[in-house]
Structure 1
């Protein structure tokens, strides 16, 4: 399946027409982190472990607010440089001095551990690492002896603390067993890089959707998504002897 199916929270969101592979997904040595707009959540109230039907700011509401602001002549500046065509989303209420993040986990017993307590520990470690990065500006460094350690930067939190988590997006973490024993000085740099790449990728998609909306209002077709190139492993050319043996013994494996 290349497109999002029906039944999502916000069928009016342009992400429903976006190829699934276009959404950000970062793989590291101990986890994979993916993200997509919360409008694509499919409500399953009777299923344990899945989100219910949260109140979200639909794409249609954002367009209506932007149109009202333009008619009233109020100067606005939406995040991600979306221009005034799409108003910024209204986030759900959250505690003060905190950054909202919708985070879910998909933990495989085969890739982690059969004991539920160990799997819960993976979730706890990952959440704590996110808190260190977002609220304390944690980053990995090394001391004079080359031992990895954490360094905290309060100035970074004041200036860029809100540029780690995409607002109104859902994050899904797929941890592996190596995360359980990984120390925070090694985990934090991986998480910082992953969050930053997802932020850049997600903001580019937001700009793309705003541009498509501007083209739609101008009577132009939306921009087409280009297919991602398939990267194949380069292999040395085969010798004539290897070609001969492959044709003579096609089913032989070593």
Structure 2
């Protein structure tokens, strides 16, 4: 398909409705680099309205820069900004994976899981993009993924993935080439690792968070994705399969 359009929760509410182009979006491919593919785009006003509806204030009280200085809004090198950018990319790939499997299986439980992930993570992604816009910060940066976690060294992927749990291009290509039960199992295996990485990232932000609104969102990610990890593990067992690792 061609052209850009906003994608929200309604795009994934019915198995009969078409979503965005399956596959990696612009953000999933690489932060700050255009690939010519469509992406999920949320105007700041829409994201702010969603945040208020969910009871999460769209405005922030303070943030912390790399030097530890507290400011009125988060600095571009703060954990608040870094987490929002990185988790937005991480969420985008979960949405992409879920749209791919939607068209490759008729299995109701798997499709329901995919729709839940699309709705939840597209909404959360919109909130984070809205915050960055309100803070006057860019939605991508030259910083290495996970640099905001202030580890002794930046995240160094060994398999070509951008961040913990993210699927590689080869993983996505494999999913596109499968159908039926094989697609279900591979999707569940990929999402299991994806959620594990997402939980680790969200908890990493919770541990250093200054912004209470973003911290609450990250905590909800930890709780929600931890629950889905058990669900996905059970779904794999029901299909006679095990986690990929």
TM-score, with structure 1 as normaliser: 0.25
User: Who wins on radius of gyration, i.e. which is larger?
Assistant: 1
Structure with greater helix percent? 2
